[in-house]
Amino acid sequence: MSSPITKKTSGFSLLELLLVMTIMLIALGIVSTLMARSFAVRARESRTTDALTSAQAALSVLSREIANSGFGLYTNPTTKVADNGIIVADSGQHQIRVRANLDNSGGVPTSPGPQTLVINSPGEDVTYFFDAATKSIVRYDANGLGVGSGETSVVVNRISNVTFQYYDYAGATATASGPFTVPTANTGRVQITVDVTLDPVAGEPNPQTVTFTSEVTLRNNEYMLQQY
């Protein structure tokens, strides 16, 4: 009678286990790196979208009111040369003050003055400026709460900088001169630049700044009116 045959079952060796664990750790590391990079990209795109939305909203508000600058105004009741509505003494690189006779009740850029009854309604005397302390664009309406009662409001916050540049048009030439850091009576176009420094994101180059630019034509400027 023959003896029974026994099978010998062998397990994994220590070396094989270490090799498998090493491969798994490498794979997990690669997956973790890819996931971290994916989250960083998502965070970057999210903050860029937020910055884009805020800056575009700010540019829309500024562009609309600056474009209306000088409406219904002229420098002299006799010659009636159009006034661009920019208050030169109160305007520069980081601030602009514009006036317009939106109610169309007057004709000169001073109030009271010859042939004018208003320029004292809300939205007719507006200053935009950058407030570095709060990192915001601030709108000051000299008549927002009534004659002699100004109203201040924040247009958009989380802004790093706002810059105004001015282009002048004079005579019959269509070529603008500039840009200048201060406006003049011949300013017919304003370039607005809004900078937004994004919040830092781990794994991404920091800091990152997104810049948005809009150019506004002052359609009530004397040169612009002559083109119609």
What pLDDT was estimated at residue 97? 95
Count of domains observed in the chain: 1
Amino acid, res. 65? E
What pLDDT was estimated at residue 129? 93
Could you tell me if residue 207 is inside a domain?
yes
Q: Which residues contact 224 (CB under 8 A, 6 or more apart)?
A: 169, 188, 217, 218
Could you tell me if residue 36 is inside a domain?
no
Full residue range of the structural domain in which residue 59 is found: 46-225
Mean pLDDT for each 10-residue chunk of the chain (228 residues)? 57 75 82 73 70 78 89 78 89 94 76 68 90 90 78 84 91 78 92 82 69 88 73
Could you tell me if residue 22 is inside a domain?
no
Are 157 and 136 contacting, i.e. CB atoms less than 8 angstroms apart?
Answer: yes
Could you tell me if residue 35 is inside a domain?
no
What pLDDT was estimated at residue 2? 55
Report the distance separating Cα 96 and Cα 98, nearest Å: 7
Could you tell me if residue 29 is inside a domain?
no
- pTM for the complete prediction? 0.74
Could you tell me if residue 3 is inside a domain?
no
Could you tell me if residue 20 is inside a domain?
no
Could you tell me if residue 179 is inside a domain?
yes
